[in-house]
Structures are given as C-alpha cells and as structure tokens.
Chain A
Amino acid sequence: MTQNLLEVQGLKTEFKRGDGSITAVAGVDFVIKKGEVLGLVGESGCGKSVTSLSIMRLLKDTPGRISGGSVRFEGTDLTKVSDKEMRQIRGNEMAMIFQEPMTSLNPVLKIGLQLMEPIMLHLGYGRKKAREHAIHMLRLVGIPRAEELVDEYPHQLSGGMRQRVMIAMAMSCHPKLLIADEPTTALDVTIQAQILDLMKHLKEEQDMGMLLITHDLGVVAELCDRVVVMYAGRVVEEASVHELFARPQHPYTKGLIQSVPKLRQNVRRLDSIKGNVPDLSQMPAGCKFAPRCDFVMERCLSQEPELLPIEGLERKSRCWFTQQENTEGGERL
C-alpha cells in the first residue's frame, strides 16, 4: 500500500464548445498523502473547480469530460470505475463542501432529513439511528441546540451555520478525503476564521486528507501542508506551504503573494498581476503566463516549460527563468 491517498496524474478535462473543444484542465499532476491538506490555488478560471469536479466525476451534467490521465484514490482509478461504484465512493469515502452554503441546502427540506440521507445511504443506519448520528454530527461541528435544529429549515440559519451543516453532512460518513471548494469565500471574515478552525480541528481528529481549493492565500497559510499553484489549467508550482511563502519560485506565485495587502506596510496602490488569464481557446504558444510575466525571455514565448523539480528542494516549478537561474547557480527569484 502506498501512503498516497489520492494521486492525480496527467488529468485532462475538455469542454465541448460548438464543434471544437477547449481544454480547461491540461495535464494536472499532484498527490495528496494520508492526513495531508493540499491547497489548490489560482485565479478565477484557472481550472481549480473543474479539477475538483473531475476528481469527484461530477461533470456529467456539463458538456465537460475527462479526456486523459488518471485519478487514483487509494490505488483504484476513479476514471475507470462504474457509475454505481462511484456513487458509493461519493459522500462515503470522498466528500465535498461547496462554495455557496446559502444554496447548497434544499430550501424545502428539513435540515435533519438532508443530513440523514447520506448516513442512511452509506452507513445503512435506520431512521432513528441516522437521526441520532445527524444530531451528533451537528454537535461535532459546534452547532448549539442540535436537537431542535434538525427539525428546522435552511432559511432559519445564517450562512456560517449553513456551512457548518454542510461540513457536518460531508463529514457524516467519515470520509478519507474531503474536497473543499472555496469553503469560506461566501462567508464574512469572523465566520471564516471559525470555519477554518473547525475544519482544522476536524481534520486532525478524523485524520483525513483534504483538498482545499481557494484563491485566498491567507486560508492556505492557515490550513495547508503543501500547495499546488495552478495557472491556465496547468500546475505551475508545487511546494510546501512554508517554502512557498518564503521563497516563491514561479513569477506567477510571486505575483500572487505580492498582491496580498500586508499589514504594517503603507502602500498607496495594491500590487496586482497585470492582465487576465488568457482565453482557453486562444492560449499563447509558449509559457501560458509569458504575456503577463515580468521576467519573460524569448524562449518563454515559443516553448512551454515543463514542471520540473528544483534541485535540492522538495518542490517543482514550471518556468524557464527559475530553471535557468538554478542550473547556473544564480540567485533565486
């Protein structure tokens, strides 16, 4: 048995558009070890969410489809299992929390019923036992008066409470992997901190792996062990969270970190990365980041760099400039 919980290799996801197709995820590789929190960072539209939906195989209702690569979950390739097997994995071994807690609960069903469904489905509990388990889960995520809450409707709860309910639902069958797609984006800052604390606490208690998708570097610093930075459907950098913040290698990562406003620094204008993520149907030929990069060289415009490990360090970067700097023994970025 490997110690790797999830191995994503060369994952490619395409969307049909008109007669052609566009590639939203173009060969993504990463690994999540048991009990590890991996952060997946990048701007809007870089393929973070599509990656997570591909892992869960929830692309069915979209024109999207996995066109290559493999997703190994504890050794089994999820791109090859049947729909029925996948349903048994979803919610049971692998669960997901969505960005919008306000709309991810059905407004016309009582909270208890919605919590009980996956419990009855995956753990085979009867109604009464499932209800008890649901109440137990609600207590676990720090919801007061859980016994009463199971008989209430979602609109009676605040956003933070609803996200707690979603976490309780996702955790109810003790998944080995939790995919959290921007779990705190829709919440206000004080609630964000509470939810992050809760997730950290639960993760340690249940010893599960987690894929945290976010564009908030603060959340990454708070929760993650390792970080994968995505740009235009590709992984551009991978590093441990300390390394990443201390010495970002890829110019894109550098730009991301610089664009976070810092306390104690009196700035007039916030730094930002100029330009936008290129349109998926009109990708530049070489490095996809080249048009926005401050360190662009001639080679960058014609040839796409590969994601290569950096010598002597437990990390990878997809950049000609850093690779050149490192081989020449020059100063790092």
Chain B
Amino acid sequence: MSDNSAVMGTNSPIPGEVIAPEKTKGRAGVFIRKFSKQKMPLLAAFFVILLFLIAIFGPFLTPYNPDEPNYDALMQGPSGAHWAGTDEYGRDILSRLIDGTRLTLAVSLSSVLIAGVLGTILGLVSGYYGGWLDRIIMRGSDVLFSFPDLLLAIGIVAILGPGLSNVVIAVAVFGTPSFARIIRSVTLSAKETLFVEAARSMGAKNRRIIWRHIFPETVPSIIVNLSMKIGGAILAAASLSFLGMGAKPTEPDWGAMLSMGRDYLSIAPHIVYFPGLAIFLTVLAFNLVGDGLRDALDPKMKN
C-alpha cells in the first residue's frame, strides 16, 4: 500500500497527488492549522500572549506607581481614575495587577520548567533502563504522589522558610513526579519500536539512543504537560502566597493581594475581585491552551 502511494507520489501524472517537498516540511504548518481551528484555545492563546506582553512591558503600562500609597483614596471602588479601584493603602489595584503579572508568570513558569526538566530526565532514565533504577524512581514519586499537592508544598516551604524562591522549589518538587510518570510511559513504548532496536543493532550507545531516538518521541507530551501544569502552578503559588508562605505582603503578588483584601471583604469586595479574576482567567487560559496543544499535537485526533 505504502509502496504504491510513494510510487504514485513521485511519478503521478495527477498534479494533486504529488508529494511536494514543501508539504512535508510543514510539520509546524500542520500544527498551526490544527491549533487555530479550535476557537477557545486560540482565544486563550491570544490572552496568554497578552499576559506575556504585559509582563514584559509592565512598568510602562501601569497608570500609577504600584507601590505608592495614596491616603486620599483609600479603598475606593472602580472609577474612571482607578479602573480597578484602590486597596487599603490607596494603591491602584490595576497597576499592582499589571506589575504582579511578571511575578506570577516568573514563579509559575520557572517552577514548571524545573519540574519539566527533572521529570523528563527521571522519566527517560526510569523507562529506558528499567530494573532497580526504575523501581527507586517510581516508588519515590509514589511517595510524593501520596501527599495532597498543596500540603506537600506547605511542608516544603515550612522547611525551607517562606519566600518566592522557595515557593518555586516547592511547586517544582510536587510537579516532578507526574512529569516523570508521563515521560516514563512514553519512553516504555518508544524503546520497543523497531528503529530503537535497529539503532542498537548498529552499536549505538544507550545515551545516544535516549537522546536521538527516544527524547524526540516525548517532546509532544512534554509540551502539552508543561502548558497544562502552568495553570496548576499559578494556583499553587497564589495559594501559598495567600497563606502568607510565599510573596511578602508588600509584593504585588496576586495571591498576596487576595490575602490582604480578605480582611476588607465586607466593605471593599473589589480588592479581592480583581486579583481573583486575574488568577481565574490566567489559569483558565493556560489550561485551554494546554487542551488545544494536546489535540493539535495528537496524530490520532484527525480534524
């Protein structure tokens, strides 16, 4: 069958049947086409891009200095001057949200990236070599899995002490096992493929086989899992800050803003609404992008 199609492809008199080299180069093109067919993930992707732009150009966008108190405008509701109102020190909430975007993205991205790198390495090693190494890594991750996520993070921060960098470590630690498991399962199926056996029959070293033949197979899973995990990491970091274990109250972290605003919930609910909305939308956007990536990268899901 494939013999047939390839012969047809190179010699076919029908112009549409020719396998053009341009077409085969366009793996990225196919991906973009598949991704952009999905409306919600596309919208979410634009929102994520917007967030990144805000994070980069934040200082130029803030209408007020996010750290400067204004005692003439305490806990004002949304108005023309302060779109998202002011907090208990009279600081402009919109400016603080914009400034906090950078913090939120930095914390969640770096923790997820650390978890991704560690988890990928552990998963590849565990899946490829198997044996006692596999057993140790997988039992270790089972131990981490048995803790409720947030409880584990609180425990780690309690040991390391509060602070954003420790939040990053904590979130990375509890994100690693699920990465390791996913990559391990992909590795297990990839190492059974004939081209891995063929590479081995040509005398290739294990490390080279992992890097050259197995790692590329895991890349789609890594991308999807990264984007799915970012949402969770934002929530976890915000939760830790809310509990006072992450960002200092003076820092414009969304979770810390929620925590501060909690005390004034009955008289000035807008102080928690806007940070809460920002967290909600950001997490939703990352999760939708993750879903879209999964569908676009999965070759089994045509259309």
Contacts and interface: CB of A to CB of B under 8 A. Distances in A.
A107 B24 CA distance: 12
Interface of B: 2-7, 9, 19, 21, 24, 130, 191-195, 197-205, 208, 212-213, 216-217
A169 B216 CA distance: 21
Nearest to A93: B203
B2 A159 contact: yes
Nearest to B214: A106
B6 A122 contact: no
Contact of A161 (B6, B24, B192, B204): B6
B197 A158 contact: no
B201 A61 contact: no
Nearest to A154: B195
B194 A90 contact: no
Contact of B3 (A58, A105, A191): A191
29 contacts: A56-B201, A58-B197, A87-B204, A87-B205, A91-B202, A92-B203, A96-B201, A100-B194, A104-B194, A104-B195, A106-B199, A107-B195, A108-B217, A109-B216, A117-B202, A117-B204, A117-B208, A118-B202, A121-B203, A121-B204, A152-B24, A157-B6, A158-B3, A158-B7, A159-B6, A166-B198, A169-B198, A187-B3, A191-B3
A89 interface: yes
A102 B2 CA distance: 9
Nearest to A56: B201
B115 to A, nearest CB: 25
A188 interface: yes
Contact of A90 (B130, B192, B203, B212): B203
Chain A interface size range = 35 or more
Given A106-B199, A157-B6, 16 more contacts: A61-B130, A87-B204, A90-B203, A91-B201, A96-B201, A98-B198, A103-B193, A103-B195, A104-B195, A106-B216, A109-B212, A117-B212, A152-B21, A158-B5, A166-B198, A187-B3
A104 B208 CA distance: 17
A104 B3 CA distance: 16
Contacts of B194: 98, 100, 103-104
Nearest to A87: B203
B239 to A, nearest CB: 39
Given A91-B202, A105-B198, A61 B24 contact: no
A105 B195 contact: yes
Contact of A158 (B2, B192, B205): B2
A31 to B, nearest CB: 22
A233 interface: no
A160 B5 CA distance: 12
A155 B21 CA distance: 12
Interface string A66-105: 0000000000000000000001111110011010101111
B203 A108 contact: no
B195 A159 contact: no
B198 A156 contact: no
A157 B3 CA distance: 8
Contact of B6 (A153, A156, A187): A156
B72 to A, nearest CB: 63
A109 B212 CA distance: 9
A89 to B, nearest CB: 7
Helix, strand, loop or mixed for chain B's interface? helix
Contacts of B204: 87, 91, 117-118, 121
Contacts of A108: 216-217
B6 A58 contact: no
A195 to B, nearest CB: 12
Interface string A129-169: 00000000000000000000000110111111100001001
Contact of B24 (A58, A96, A156): A156
Name, among B130, B198, B201, the residue most crowded by chain A CB atoms within 10 Å (CB to CB): B201
B299 to A, nearest CB: 11
A121 B24 CA distance: 29
Nearest to B25: A153
Nearest to B197: A58
A119 to B, nearest CB: 10
A98 B200 CA distance: 12
Contacts of A96: 198, 201
A309 B19 CA distance: 57
Q: Which 8 A-B pairs have the closest CB atoms?
A: A91-B203, A91-B202, A158-B6, A90-B203, A118-B202, A96-B201, A104-B198, A106-B195
Contacts of B191: 61
A132 to B, nearest CB: 19
B201 A58 contact: yes
B200 A58 contact: yes
B219 to A, nearest CB: 9
A84 B203 CA distance: 9
Contacts of B213: 106, 109
A105 B204 CA distance: 14
Contacts of A109: 212-213, 216
A121 B204 CA distance: 8
Contacts of A187: 3
A77 to B, nearest CB: 18
Given A90-B202, A104-B195, A156-B19, A188 B24 contact: no
Contacts of A118: 202-204
A100 B197 CA distance: 12
Contacts of A107: 195
A155 B202 contact: no
A50 to B, nearest CB: 14
Contacts of A106: 195, 199, 212-213, 216
Contacts of B201: 56, 58, 90-91, 95-96, 98
A146 B191 CA distance: 29
B215 to A, nearest CB: 10
B228 to A, nearest CB: 23
